[in-house]
């Protein structure tokens, strides 16, 4: 009897030890499984984050200005860059500056704000624009000079659209002249014309000769907004002997107050060197606010004049 009890006790110890080992094994397997799962999850997250970093573009800082809807060609002014430049003696009369407000006709409220300024400005008005008659009437009462802002084909056309009534290089001579005359007749009170966009058209000699021939017949001047270095407007104007001038400075293609102020300073500097300068601005609220603030100082240094008093026969 004593021997049997001993065997039974040994069996209980054996089974208890075996059960403990199985429990430990299960815990070990569970722990390993959890570790493998964590490794897989970590690997997936690392792959996802790496893929996102590669495919999602970095967030850019918000710009303080809007992208302009008009063409810009940054014309370097070599005279200003000459280190050996010596200023001319200051003349008795102030240098003349003409400031053109382009793109007029589609927003009358901002146009009225520019008209409220105590300054001589020139408005360049889109043909057949919805508020042109109202704006022109008020502008003429104030003494502002009116021009036609003539839409012309840019290099990026049709991806970039110059708007309705544009002159296109694909037009036949008859189509071109017909559209030009319709645009000119839409604003009969104009004294001259400036181009809206037109980087492609203003580089086409044959068609610019046709356009300038009509302007000569109507005794109108032309202002080249200079949207391309390939512009042949100046030699065309010289050939046909029509009054001409070209843009010196775009004042507000970046709609940020400090930038506009710097562009005004550049315009003054060019006028001091050459005696005259032409600046082009647009009907933006920020442009109006800067003009309103800077006008008193600007008018101490230059004389604001209608653009017609700056144009001349080239050569």
Q: How many residues can be counted in the chain?
A: 315
**Do 184 and 296 have their domain in common?**
yes
Which residues constitute the domain of residue 36? 1-57
105 shares its domain with 235: yes
pLDDT tens digits for range 177-223: 999 999 999 999 999 999 999 999 999 999 999 999 999 999 999 99
To the question of pTM greater than 0.85 for the whole model, the response is no
Q: What is the C-alpha radius of gyration for the chain, rounded to an integer number of angstroms?
A: 36
The band of 62, judged by pLDDT with boundaries at 50, 70 and 90, is very low
Q: Are 31 and 161 members of one domain?
A: no
CATH number, residue 100: 3.20.20.370
C-beta separation of 108 from 134 below 8 A: yes
pLDDT grade for 34, boundaries at 50, 70 and 90: low
In this prediction, residue 232 carries a pLDDT of 97
**Are 165 and 20 in the same domain?**
no
Q: Which of 12, 28, 57 is the last residue of a domain?
A: 57
Q: Is residue 269 part of a domain?
A: yes
237 confidence band (pLDDT: 50, 70, 90): very high
Q: Please report which residue ranges of the chain form alpha helices under DSSP H.
A: 2-55, 78-81, 108-115, 132-142, 173-186, 205-217, 233-240, 257-274, 285-301
For residues 18 and 159, membership in a common domain is answered with no
Residues 41 and 116 in one domain: no
Neighbours of 110 (CB within 10 A): 17
- Is the model's pLDDT at 295 over the cut of 90? yes
Shared-domain flag, residues 158 and 49? no
- Tell me whether residue 136 is in a domain: yes
What is the tally of structural domains in the chain? 2
- Indicate whether 134 and 249 sit together in one domain: yes
- 38 pLDDT band (50/70/90 cuts)? low
Q: pLDDT band at residue 25, thresholds of 50, 70 and 90?
A: low
In terms of domains, do 152 and 297 share one?
yes
Distance CA 298, CA 257 (A): 15
Residues 83 and 51 in one domain: no
Helix (H, G, I), strand (E, B) or coil at 167: strand
């Amino acid at each position: 009897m004593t021997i049997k009890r001993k065997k039974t006790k040994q069996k209980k110890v054996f089974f208890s030890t075996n059960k403990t080992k199985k429990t430990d094994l299960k815990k070990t397997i569970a722990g390993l499984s959890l570790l493998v799962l964590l490794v897989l999850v970590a690997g997936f997250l690392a792959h996802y984050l790496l893929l996102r970093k590669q495919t999602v573009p970095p967030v850019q800082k918000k710009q303080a200005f809007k992208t302009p809807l008009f063409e810009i060609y940054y014309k370097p002014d070599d005279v200003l860059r000459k280190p050996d430049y010596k200023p001319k003696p200051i003349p008795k009369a102030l240098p003349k500056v003409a400031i053109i407000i382009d793109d007029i006709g589609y927003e009358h409220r901002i146009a009225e704000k520019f008209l409220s300024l105590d300054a001589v400005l020139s408005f360049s008005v889109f043909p057949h624009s919805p508020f042109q008659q109202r704006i022109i009437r008020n502008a003429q009462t104030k003494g502002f000079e009116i021009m036609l802002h003539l839409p012309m084909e840019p290099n990026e056309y049709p991806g970039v659209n110059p708007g309705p009534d544009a002159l296109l290089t694909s037009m036949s001579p008859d189509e071109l002249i017909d559209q030009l005359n319709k645009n000119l007749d839409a604003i009969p009170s104009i004294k001259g014309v400036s181009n809206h966009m037109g980087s492609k058209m203003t580089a086409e000699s044959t068609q610019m000769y046709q356009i300038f021939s009509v302007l000569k017949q109507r005794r109108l001047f032309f202002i080249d907004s200079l949207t391309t270095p390939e512009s042949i407007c100046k030699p065309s104007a010289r050939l046909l002997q029509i009054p001409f001038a070209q843009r010196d400075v775009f004042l507000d293609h970046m709609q940020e107050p400090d930038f506009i102020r710097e562009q005004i300073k550049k315009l003054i500097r060019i006028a001091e060197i050459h005696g005259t300068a032409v600046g082009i601005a647009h009907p933006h609220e920020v442009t109006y606010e800067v003009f309103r603030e800077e006008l008193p100082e600007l008018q101490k240094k230059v004389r604001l004049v209608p653009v017609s008093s700056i144009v001349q026969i080239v050569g």
